[in-house]
């Protein structure tokens, strides 16, 4: 964890937002997903009313880094991911059109927040993302942020629904 989070924690110390900074990050990614190109998405999920939404970009980057290390260093990673996809297909949760990731897929950080977060939390979260980008944290530039409806649909920054995975 220190290898993937130490630099981020240092950067958060100078982020232009009020409030206490995280001292560490948990070791569990909330959700793993695939996008239409077969990239892995490391998703940090937050309810709309918690102040920790502000730091979610850094948290998602930590999980993306951990997954990246796993896919590059564990020779069984691609087999495990393929097995997860097959299980979900057998349960009818995915279609056969679901993209297959490469043996070493790109891993992208994503934040998914319950729809209706306050504008204050949104502005501060975006300020943290922008700060990390300015500080040279490369993954911050590719970070995706979505709001999630109660029905589970992802909405982009403009409130438009994202296509369902595998569609």
20-61 per-position pLDDT tens digit: 999 999 889 999 988 888 899 999 999 988 888 999 999 999
Alpha helices by DSSP H, 13-109: 56-73, 77-90
On whether the pTM is more than 0.85, the answer is yes
* Statement: residue 159 has pLDDT above 70: no
Residue boundaries of the structural domains of the chain: 2-16+25-155
65-124 per-position pLDDT tens digit: 999 999 999 999 989 998 999 999 999 988 877 888 887 899 999 999 998 899 999 999
Tokens 């920790």, located at residue: 52
């Amino acid at each position: 964890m220190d290898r993937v989070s130490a630099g981020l924690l240092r950067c958060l110390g100078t982020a232009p937002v009020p409030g206490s900074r995280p001292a560490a990050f948990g070791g569990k990614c909330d959700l793993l997903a695939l996008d239409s190109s077969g990239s892995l998405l490391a998703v940090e999920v937050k309810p709309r009313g918690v102040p920790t939404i502000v730091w979610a970009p850094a948290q998602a980057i930590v999980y993306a880094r951990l997954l990246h290390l796993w896919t590059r260093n564990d020779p069984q990673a691609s087999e495990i991911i393929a097995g997860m996809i097959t299980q979900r297909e057998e349960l009818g949760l995915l279609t056969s059109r679901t993209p297959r990731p490469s043996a070493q897929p790109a891993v992208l950080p994503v934040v998914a927040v319950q729809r209706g977060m306050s504008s204050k939390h949104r502005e501060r979260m975006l300020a943290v993302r922008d700060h990390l980008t300015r500080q040279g944290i490369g993954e911050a530039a590719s970070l995706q942020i979505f709001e999630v409806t109660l029905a589970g649909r992802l909405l982009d920054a403009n409130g438009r629904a994202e296509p369902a995975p595998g569609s």
